[in-house]
Amino acid sequence: MMKNVISAVCIKCGAEHEAVPTVTTCKKCGGILDIKYDYRYIRSQIDRKKLADRKENTMWRYMEYLPVTGESKVNKLRVGMSPFYEAPRLAERLGIRKLYIKDDGINPTASLKDRASAMAVVKAEEAGMTTIACSSTGNAASSLAGNAAAAGFETYIFVPERAPKGKVAQLMVFGANVISVKGSYEDTFELSAQAIDRWGWYNRNAAINPYLMEGKKTVALEIAEQMNWEMPDYIAISVGDGCTIGGLWKGLKDLYETGMIDRLPRIISVQAEGCCPLNRSIMENQPWTPMEENTLADSIAVGVPRNPDKALNAIRESDGVPVNVSDEEILEAMKLLGSAGVFAEPAGATGTAGVKKAIAQGLIPADASVVSVVTGSGLKDVANAMKAAGEPLAIEPDMNLLLDAFHSRGLK
Ligand SMILES: *Cc1c(COP(=O)(O)O)cnc(C)c1O
Ligand SMILES: [Zn+2]
């Protein structure tokens, strides 16, 4: 029995369900569920001081805010409590008062998705399942494969054939059953849904399983604690299916409702120009419609977002700022982050690209404080990293040639 959880509420029709791990969609209308908490109870259990004294240095330090109990088998891999940096030189270059980087590429499988996958494994175990499946643009896949391997579970993973090699290599090393689908992410998702139906595997598809967002929300809890509960004006994040931004907002609201923070930041929702169905919907004040998946940021190349309602809600409720960036701007942001010692994959740098653009276009004021979440590591996609940063100086092992080369490049 989870004392902190009241129910699982359908965000479409409002029907309430008992929050058990086997119920992952609304029994009435098939809609997406949201885990509803007893904030009074949580408030009675936790405060800033208690948290500060806590030894647990993973996402599970926020147990009171998560849909688990003391008996839940958590803690396989060390997920969460990723680094949080102030980036003063980057702030100066971008022309903003304060800029902070939350580097979620520093997770066991190198993306923010580990927060959701760690939760998925716990929930699969509670549901009595030993096989978990998902479809993914790549990172949900590799993170599920890693977290499931650590728990001794079998996985079936569906990825579109365009998934970068680094991510596919992770899948193979973690021992997943990998199905590389010759088609778009949309095709991949549909095939996985049919297979999951047919074989009854535990479904880690992020939009379908409401517990995953609960895992992802821990990024917000960490940001708050790492900022000593003084919230920034804005938090920037890249958006694909919409579960990450939904989780970020849920975490912030949970903290606000339980009195841990006294103001809510606005969310900067960043998508790629070539694939921005959710931002477009906000900007044009129209229902969202599918788009082509036309960006090199593969993790957010999602033409048919699977969690649109929670994402749109997060942007609207937070009085958010939608920003679309080009592939060139994403590559440039990879170099910007690199100049601060942070290596991001394209979708991981997209939030920062959005911050830069939002400042340049006056969408956010120069005296603001901003946290930019880096959602995945650059090692996942070295081809695009080389595209961003170029090739090194290649030379024979000869000092004179080195001197010539330096001279002609104006070095030394
Ligand atoms: C999945 C992912 C996102 C976007 O998350 P959604 O829940 O799909 O919106 C952003 N960046 C990276 C690196 C990701 O893997
Ligand atoms: Zn419903």
Which residues, listed in sequence order, are joined to residue 234 by a DSSP beta bridge? 266, 370
Q: DSSP 3-state assignment of 7?
A: strand
Which ligand 1 atom minimizes the distance to the CA of 113? 15
Q: 135 in ligand 1 pocket by Cβ < 6 Å?
A: no
**pLDDT for position 131:** 92
pLDDT in tens, 137-147: 789 999 999 99
- Hey, what are 85's tokens? 């940096």
What is the 301 CA–ligand 1 centroid distance (Å)? 9
What is the 288 CA–ligand 2 centroid distance (Å)? 20
SS (H, E, C) 77-143: CCCCCCCEEECHHHHHHHCCCEEEEEECCCCCCCECHHHHHHHHHHHHHHCCCCEEEEECCCHHHHH
How many CA atoms does the CB half-sphere of 354 hold within 13 Å? 31
pLDDT averaged over 10-residue windows placed end to end, the chain, 412 residues: 94 95 91 96 97 95 93 86 98 97 98 95 90 88 94 93 88 95 90 93 83 97 98 98 97 98 98 98 97 93 92 98 98 98 98 98 98 97 95 94 92 80
What is the 403 CA–ligand 1 centroid distance (Å)? 45
Q: 345 in ligand 1 pocket by Cβ < 6 Å?
A: yes
The residues, any chain, with a CB within 8 Å of residue 344's CB and separated by 6 or more, are: 105, 333, 334, 337, 352, 374, 375, 376, 377, 378
- Hey, what are 219's tokens? 């990024």
What is the 240 CA–ligand 1 centroid distance (Å)? 5
Which residues, listed in sequence order, are joined to residue 33 by a DSSP beta bridge? 10
What is the 33 CA–ligand 2 centroid distance (Å)? 8
How much is the pTM?
A: 0.95
Q: 348 in ligand 1 pocket by Cβ < 6 Å?
A: yes
CA-closest candidate to residue 106, choices 292, 341, 307: 341
Ligand nearest to the CA of 8: 2
The residues, any chain, with a CB within 8 Å of residue 261's CB and separated by 6 or more, are: 224, 229, 231, 252, 255
Ligand nearest to the CA of 26: 2
**pLDDT for position 8:** 96
φ, ψ dihedrals at 142, nearest 5°? -65, -35
Q: 298 in ligand 1 pocket by Cβ < 6 Å?
A: no
Q: 349 in ligand 1 pocket by Cβ < 6 Å?
A: no
CB 389 within 8 Å of CB 338: yes
Q: 114 in ligand 1 pocket by Cβ < 6 Å?
A: no
- Hey, what are 104's tokens? 């979620």
Which ligand 1 atom minimizes the distance to the CA of 302? 8
CB 278 within 8 Å of CB 311: yes
Q: How far apart are CA 166 and CA 91, in angstroms?
A: 30
Residue 248 CB burial class (10 angstroms; 0-12, 13-18, ≥19): buried
Q: How far apart are CA 353 and CA 323, in angstroms?
A: 9
**pLDDT for position 257:** 98
The radius of gyration of the chain's CA atoms, rounded to the nearest angstrom, is 21
φ, ψ dihedrals at 17, nearest 5°? -125, 155
The one-character DSSP state at 300 is: G
CA-closest candidate to residue 298, choices 172, 208, 221, 383: 383
Q: DSSP 3-state assignment of 303?
A: coil
Nearest CA to ligand 1 atom 13: 376
pLDDT in tens, 158-217: 999 988 888 899 999 999 999 999 998 889 989 999 999 999 998 888 677 899 999 999
Q: 279 in ligand 1 pocket by Cβ < 6 Å?
A: no
Q: How far apart are CA 109 and CA 113, in angstroms?
A: 8
Ligand nearest to the CA of 302: 1
**pLDDT for position 206:** 67
| Beta pairing class for 33-37 and 5-10 | antiparallel
**pLDDT for position 154:** 94
Ligand nearest to the CA of 140: 1
Q: 258 in ligand 1 pocket by Cβ < 6 Å?
A: no
Q: How far apart are CA 215 and CA 212, in angstroms?
A: 5
